[in-house]
Amino acid sequence: MKLLIRLSILALAAVGARTLFERLRPRVSGATGSGNLVSETLTPAVRDAATTVKEASTQAAHDVADASTQAAHDVADATRQAAGGLASELEDAVSGTNPPTAPVPPTA
């Protein structure tokens, strides 16, 4: 009796599995076909995106390099101007043409 119950449950499980397979098989084959379509359109899109990102990163690197060079030149020019102004002030102070004036104390 137990064997008959087990065999009937096994048969019902097989019938259920086959029913599920028949119901889901068209969906699986349809999904496989659309997967190929997605693959065909996705590959060129990824290539285009990779090319765009590569070009943009190269351009950004060049922009950063140019900005760094310009900033270095600006700092060097400002340093030369400051050093030149300081040198002329020191020359004036040494030669006495424009001696620094001492502050006058306020009168009460």
pTM above 0.85, yes or no: no
The predicted pLDDT at position 83 comes to 81
The rounded Cα 37 to chain-centroid distance in angstroms is: 30
The predicted pLDDT at position 92 comes to 75
Cα–Cα distance, 90 to 63 (Å, whole number): 40
For the chain, the residue count is: 108
Token code pair at residue 31: 């999904």
The predicted pLDDT at position 104 comes to 63
Residue 92 near residue 98 (C-beta atoms within 8 A): yes
Q: Please identify every stretch of the chain with a pLDDT value under 50, giving residue numbers as ranges.
A: none
CA contacts within 13 A on the Cβ side of 12: 6
Token code pair at residue 32: 């496989």
The predicted pLDDT at position 102 comes to 58
